[in-house]
Amino acid sequence: MQILRWLITFALPVACLEMLPSNLTSIFDAQNTVIKGMLVYCPWIHNVSGSTPGMFQAPYYWWEAGVAWSAMIDWSVVSGNDTYNDWIKEAIQFQSGTNWDFMTENQTSVEGNDDQGFWGITVMNAAEKNFTQPDKGYPPWLYFAQATFNKIAGRWDTTLCGGGLKWQIFPWNAGYDYKNMVSNGVLFHMAARLARFTNNDSYVDWSEKVWKWARGVNFLSPIYPDATNNFDMYMRVYDGAHTTDNCTDIATAEWTYDQGLMISGCAYLYNYTGDSVWLDRVDQLWSRATSMFGTDNSTYFPGSKILYEPSCMTADESIVSCSNDQRVFKGIMLRFLGISMQVAPVLRETFFEYVTITAQAASWSCSGGTDGVTCGLSWLHQGWDGWYGLGEQICALDAFNTLIYDRFDGPYKASDLPEIYTVNNSTSSGSNSSDNSSSSGNSSSGSSGTVYGWGNEAGMNSSQVESQKLELDNGDVAGAGVLTAFVLLLIIGGSAWLVL
């Protein structure tokens, strides 16, 4: 705790975004500042002609928009500020698609399982935080989450590599022959959160299935401190492998958001099941995750507790090759550490010092641009590194949100929200009610108590967007393939820079 006290009292020696971890007002001010910088990249809220609700400008992809709006939900709840709630709600509704499962018509031809999954996590976040409910004509947020989960889980593929999800949904996209940890990680993560929210053990079964498969193909790869295997292991989370080689050609890049997906999923499962095996798995994952925290290159920080992305940059910043996507990963990791501490408070003693030091370092990076408060990519030195963009702003917001995660008394379960999820003692998992002005939540009696939601029926009651014929010309298909192939090369190549 000596480091934390030092941080709180330290006087900033350079001009930057002034955020003190002990001062709530300064945190609120910092959040507001980075949000303004973030929303600069959203033409829709600036009424730009032809812009799409919920989307951010190129080169930022659809999935990152989902990540951004989820960060905004977190901010709204922990700050108590509802200024942007209508925009957040409209963005999610518009992008959710015909069946509220994020098989969105303007994205379907190019979206992957991971892209869809992060939007699913966004609506799961909205459900758990009881965020402003959707407009009349839409179901509650839980339905969106279950529909998205069902669609992704339905693609579980046992014909190649013994199971798992492919990165891409459709065969015309490069990466369709690649199974990666992030796609499977979002399935694991969503299952864990749905289990707790709905009191449904079948989701635990899904989490176990994903974990067992990922261990079997060595995407979850243990390391022991010595050759005798007498000490507790720590767990690497590798990027993925090609199905053409039966998932044996593993790309060994390790990304912060993959580690965060698995850590937080395990924390949720520990909360729900009470089984200590999930807490043990958190410890194994965290033991490896600590290698993703570097030391500040100056004398300002005496410890190695600043989060960075070692698979696309070195700790001395001599090599930085992070793509637009990769520049938002560490923010996702931080938000997942926050929810892990919420559902498993025993983790606070371990995680919070890392979060605090990282958030302070993030604020010091927000000292660039013409406004003097634009955030940078690297937090490993005091000041702006010249990088800027949507990802940098989201990461800073996630850091500040995580500092005050405990201002929200949650996350909720369906049973905490009887006005939305009502008990009707039906013998099925409920019907799809789209009128949330009345009893729009459904539940059934399960062996372990009341089970809430729509279960396997969510998203399955009408024609599916993905089954409709997609009118693609050769240019569309080629463009999607080239783009995804380029990203795949970046991912695989990124492992060369991993600092072990």
pLDDT at residue 142 greater than cutoff 80? yes
Residue pair 236/281 in contact by the 8 Å Cβ criterion: no
Higher-pLDDT residue of 426 and 372 is 372
For residue 380, what is the DSSP state? S
Percent of the chain predicted with pLDDT > 90: 75
CB 280, CB 271: distance < 8 Å: no
Which pLDDT belongs to residue 298? 65
Q: What is the mean pLDDT of residues 4-20?
A: 51
In the predicted structure, residue 64 carries a pLDDT above the cut 70: yes
The CATH number of residue 158's host domain is: 1.50.10.20
pLDDT digits (tens, 9 = 90+) for 409-433: 989 999 999 999 975 533 333 333 4
Tokens at 44, concatenated: 């829709």
Cα-based angle 31, 102, 422 (whole degrees, multiple of 5): 85
State the Cα–Cα distance between residues 395 and 398, nearest whole angstrom.
Answer: 5
Half-sphere exposure of 424 (CA within 13 A, CB side): 19
Q: Using one digit for the tens of pLDDT, what is the confidence trace for 145-173?
A: 999 999 999 999 999 999 999 999 999 99
| pLDDT at residue number 15 | 52
Dist CA 336 CA 257 (whole Å): 8
Q: Half-sphere exposure of residue 396, counting CA atoms within 13 Å on the CB side?
A: 37
DSSP state of 291: G
pLDDT digits (tens, 9 = 90+) for 260-285: 999 999 999 999 999 999 999 999 99
**Number of alpha helices (DSSP H) and beta strands (DSSP E) in the chain:** 14, 8
The whole domain housing 122 covers 2-9+18-464+471-497
Band the pLDDT of 1: cuts 50, 70, 90.
Answer: very low
Average pLDDT for 212-236: 84
Which pLDDT value is given to residue 482? 39
Give residue for tokens 């053409």: 244
How many domains does the chain contain in total? 1
Least confident stretch, 118-122, 184-188, 300-304, 437-441: 437-441
Answer whether 0.85 is exceeded by the pTM: yes
- pLDDT (average), residues 446-465: 72
Q: What is the DSSP string of 215-236?
A: HHTTSEEEE-SSTT--S--EEE
451, β-bridge pairs: 444
Mean pLDDT of 336-351: 98
* Mean pLDDT of all residues in 69-89: 97
CA distance linking residue 88 with residue 108, whole number of Å? 21
Q: How many Cα neighbours within 13 Å face the side chain of 49? A: 0
